[in-house]
Structure 1
Amino acid sequence: MPKFPPPYARCSNGRLVIDFLAEALGVPLLPPSANKGTNFSQGANFAVMGATALELKYFRDNNVWSIPPFNTSMKCQLEWFQEVKETVCSSPQECKEFFGKALFVFGEFGGNDYSFAWKAEWSLDKVKTEMVPKVVESMIGGIEAVLEEGARHVVVPGNLPAGCIPITLTMYASEERSDYDPRTGCLKKFNSVALYHNAMLRIALDQLQRRRPDARIIYADYYTPYIQFARTPHLYATVLI
């Protein structure tokens, strides 16, 4: 069983979902892909805090300047994947066989895209009609890219209920009680986008699965458990002594 290290050079001082997966599967914790010279034969983590499904150019073209002036988008992460690929396999056939035995966790993507749109004061309707379809389309393109590399087992997480996240509740606090879900205290507007994104993503994943019956494409529901925690926190409370 891998031993979880103390906090270091990462944005979380605790375990991430991918850490729990590694522990459950009994495989080493994934090293960050930027650690040059690391042995990535048992996996790599390409994720970066604040990464978007859409490229930086999209935000610039749409006058969304709240995004930092660097690009760690999904496309960049796929380019980093290509760099790591060269260190773990040496021929197209070998790579396909290698990746065919691997588990790919693709995302979560989209949440950061929408958060930057909110900061730019996009309306709810604009986020849903203009950004969500592009985010889902981008994600499907990225998943198809790893399938072409030989991936056969791909887990695709959906969005979290952004309206329950403390920073959202702080930045967009409202004096209107009707803006909040009475059962959770979460902001309904932001959760509605997460629900819409997840619905569109699941439809797109079902379509992709039909096109690629040789692969297992699994949707991971992050939304429902989070809402359950928010509705009944007493069932999940822990006591630290």
Structure 2
Amino acid sequence: MELFGIVIVLSVILVPSNVLIAKGQKGSDSPSSPCNYPAIYNFGDSNSDTGGTSVALFPRVAPYGETYFHRPAGRATDGRLIIDFIADHLGLPFLSPYLDSLGSNFRHGANFATGGAMIHRPTASWFQTGSSPFPLEIQVEQYIQFKERTAYFYAQGCEKSRIPRPEEFSKALHTFDIGQNDLASGFGSNEALRARLPHIISLYAEQLRGMYEVGARVFWIHNIGPLGCLPLSVIKVENPPPPGYLDEHGCIKSRNDIVKEFNKHLKETVVQLRAELSEAAITFVDIYSVKYRLISNAKKEGFEEPFKICCGIHGTGIDVGCGNTTIINGAQVYGGSCAKPSAVISWDGVHFTDRANTWIATHILDGSFSDPPIPITRACHRHSQI
């Protein structure tokens, strides 16, 4: 079972979860004008998986999807993910999973993300814990094949309303939200994990270079959120916790410290890649700060206490996953959802609710948490041009 397959102004009016974020304007190619993205190609884990895992491995079941889609829609939440809000903001449709053979439309992009995916290629033991067989390396290879096959079928005169135009790949937005499973799998030995960080980051950079070599030019890269604040971990901390184990907001400090170190290395690598990849426009998005701000100000932002889990039953000796049924003391127990998901930050103890994702997306799309500090509608322009 996947545990950490999750997956970035300053003062913004909260948009209700049933109201779409305003769409970006389309304009010219001058550095001061909005970009005209013809498509989005996304890579990542369950933070941005719009159904790849559901069609390739195990489908999401009710009550997943209940708030927005009113049915399971392949997403690890009750509604939309950040990538859905990005697509809508740019005036593009939600992304079809690359692995989905039914009802998919790839005219405006594709989603290669799968729940449990890692940057590092997982070992056999990691597969047993729910890691995806589609790490970033495979996702990038799928993208390359997708691009090559698109060119072939387009030249053959095949149905063109559901496939991209080959000349538009270099103009597309390429989004990344991956890495948390690499860290979550190693939290048992923090020092060993810390020693692996440079290698994990180097693998990430290698795949970004590979994307650039086949024509990708616009990159929007999320760092990793505060894994030490995931309710499914926090609720299992002994009471009272050891001195200094939790930070002032109740998050596991040692886990967040490693995440911060990973994010620091990732940002330094992005800066290096900007200098190396002369035609690339690379935006680094500080998802960590946005999510931590929401968690540390939950009640002020209209949510209940930040470590409440909406779907599933978790407590001392009890773990019933969202949508699962099990037998406890001879009785059948169902892990259903809470009465008001819009008041809760965490959907299932790992992933965020539709309303929380709305809040997060609202806070990153204008560029207030980006480096360089530009909105996503202008992220196609190189930093030196602005």
- Interval containing the TM-score (normalised by the shorter chain): 0.7 to 0.9
Of 158, 165, 174, the residue aligned with 1:104 is 174
In the superposition, relative to structure 1, how do residues 10 and 150 fare at CA in structure 2: closer, same or farther (>3 Å)? same
Aligned AA (1:41): R
Paired letter, 2:152: S
C-alpha distance in 1, partners of 2:209/2:86? Answer: 23
Which structure features the higher share of helix residues?
1
Greater shift in the superposed pair: 171-180 or 70-79: 171-180
Question: Aligned runs of 1:1-241 on 2, under 5 Å?
Answer: 5-6=69-70, 7-36=72-101, 38-56=104-122, 59=123, 67-68=129-130, 71-90=133-152, 97-106=167-176, 108-118=177-187, 121-122=188-189, 124-130=190-196, 132-173=197-238, 175-182=241-248, 184-237=249-302
Shift of 1:97: 3.5
Shift of 1:77: 1.1
Provide the C-alpha distance between the structure 2 equivalents of 1:82 and 1:40, rounded to a whole number of angstroms. 14
Farther-moved stretch of structure 1 (227-236 vs 134-143): 227-236
What are the ranges of 5 or more consecutive residues in structure 1 without an aligned counterpart? none
Q: Secondary structure at the match of 1:44?
A: strand
RMSD over aligned CA atoms reads: 2.7
Equivalent residue of 2:279, what SS? coil
Q: Which has the higher contact order (CA 8 A, sep 6+)?
A: 2
Identity between Structure 1 and Structure 2 (%): 25
Q: Is the 8 A contact 1:104 1:151 kept in 2?
A: yes
What SS class does the counterpart of residue 185 from structure 2 fall into?
helix
CA distance in 2 between counterparts of 1:65 and 1:48 reads 13
Specify every segment of 5 or more residues in structure 2 that has no aligned partner in the other structure, as ranges: 1-19, 24-67, 154-163, 304-339, 344-386
39 and 137 in structure 1: CA distance in 2 versus 1, 3 angstrom threshold: same
Deviation at residue 117 of structure 1 after TM alignment = 1.3
For the structure 1 residues 100 and 29, does the alpha-carbon distance in structure 2 shift closer, same or farther, using more than 3 Å as the test? Answer: same
Tell me how far 1:172 sits from its aligned partner.
Answer: 4.8
Structure-2 change in CA distance of 1:64 and 1:84 (3 Å): closer
Change (3 A) 1:54 1:173: farther
Distance 1:69 1:188 in 2: 25
Cα deviation, 1:137-159, whole Å, max 9, x if unaligned, reads 11111111111111111011101
- CA distance in 2: counterparts of 1:102 and 1:81, whole angstroms: 13
Structure 1 residue 15 displacement after superposition: 1.1
Q: TM-score, normalised by structure 2?
A: 0.54
> Alignment partner of 1:155: what SS?
strand
Superposition deviation, residue 230 in structure 1: 2.0
Pairwise CA distance, 1:82:
2.7
Change (3 A) 1:70 1:215: closer
Larger radius of gyration: 2
